[in-house]
Amino acid sequence: MTAEGSEGAPQAARKAHQLTDGARKALGDSRAAINLRWLRTLSGAPVDRILDVLTEVDALVPIEKEMRRRQVAGGRSSYAQICAPFELYALVRLLQPKHIVETGVSSGISSAHFLMALDKNRSGTLHSIDFPTHQRGPVLAADESPVSVPPGLSSGWAIPFRSTRWDLRIGESQVLLPKLVEELPAIDVFLHDDLHTPEHLTFELETIRPKLSPSALVLADNTKWTGDAAPQFANSFHARISRRGTKDLVGFRLPAPRRTKGTPA
Ligand SMILES: C[S@@+](CC[C@H](N)C(=O)[O-])C[C@H]1O[C@@H](n2cnc3c(N)ncnc32)[C@H](O)[C@@H]1O
């Protein structure tokens, strides 16, 4: 019997919370509390399998602590970027993508969680594009964006480990994304987290469209600023957008190709 069948959905959600709470506290942001419902919708995986993967998250605590320490040393009281680091980790463990593309790295919270999952999978590559802005002095000034990079550091500056699975490209997504997409055989996971305008999100989604693999996962953060760009793109595949709780991080899966008679399962 599944955890959901034997214990019910609220119990499974509690268990997911327990399994990830140490890492959330180590990272230091209450918004990162796991959303099991969103994870189930996007992964399509059984609850037992998801909880299995979430048992791995506690091993990330030393890395989360160090990322938090670096953020604080860089003058940030909260990491204030992607709100779903543990869902990103779990989705990559569950979906086993070969190619992940993300736009927007900054200190590297999303990148780090993608990479830790790819390293655990022992397969796949994260292709990241970032066009960083730089902080003026050693301490973040009140008028500066927390996504700016502290002096002497570069995109991904809070990530305390190296991974051979990271293909990081520095420059504007308007220039670099079309080139990257041309090089890739397929894109299994895409995360938009850079310039949050409707025009730019539409540009990125239309650029990746030809290479999205069957059942690809598409994620977009800060969609309160990007109007109908994400839902319209999802609609074009007859797919439904799934919002992470009350946050404006959304995702959807491309529909799997229909099996015709005689096609092996
Ligand atoms: C919200 S932050 C990314 C946060 C990151 N995903 C995380 O989880 O830590 C946005 C990043 O996108 C970069 N950016 C903004 N416009 C861009 C563009 N046109 N092309 C590439 N990167 C851009 C910003 O400089 C910043 O580093």
What pLDDT digit, counting tens, does each position of 220-250 carry? 999 999 999 999 999 999 999 999 987 799 9
| Span 59-86, pLDDT tens digits | 999 999 999 999 888 778 766 578 999 9
Q: How do strand 125-130 and strand 212-220 relate by DSSP bridges?
A: unpaired
Are 198 and 152 contacting, i.e. CB atoms less than 8 angstroms apart?
no
| Span 182-203, pLDDT tens digits | 999 999 999 999 999 999 999 9
- Tokens describing residue 14: 């509690």
Average pLDDT over residues 115-141: 94
Ligand 1 probe mutation, 131, 140, 166, 202, most atoms within 8 A of CB:
131
Taking CA atoms only, the protein residue closest to ligand 1 atom 14 is 194
Provide residues with CB under 6 Å of ligand 1: 81-82, 103-110, 129-133, 147, 172-174, 193-195
Instruction: Kindly report the backbone phi and psi dihedral angles of residue 242, in degrees, each rounded to the nearest multiple of 5, phi listed first.
Output: -120, 125
CATH of domain 3-253: 3.40.50.150
The full set of domain ranges for the chain reads 3-253
Indicate the helix (H) or strand (E) that contains 239. none
- Position 3 scores a pLDDT of 41
Q: Is the pLDDT of residue 251 over 90?
A: yes
What CA–CA distances, in Å, run from 183 to 186, 262, 263? Answer: 9, 33, 30
**pTM for the complete prediction?**
0.94
Q: Which residue has the higher pLDDT, 136 or 79?
A: 136
Q: Which residues of 156-188 are buried (b: 16+ CB within 10 A; e: fewer)?
A: bbbbeeeeebbbbbeeebeebbeebbeebeebb
DSSP letter, residue 1? -
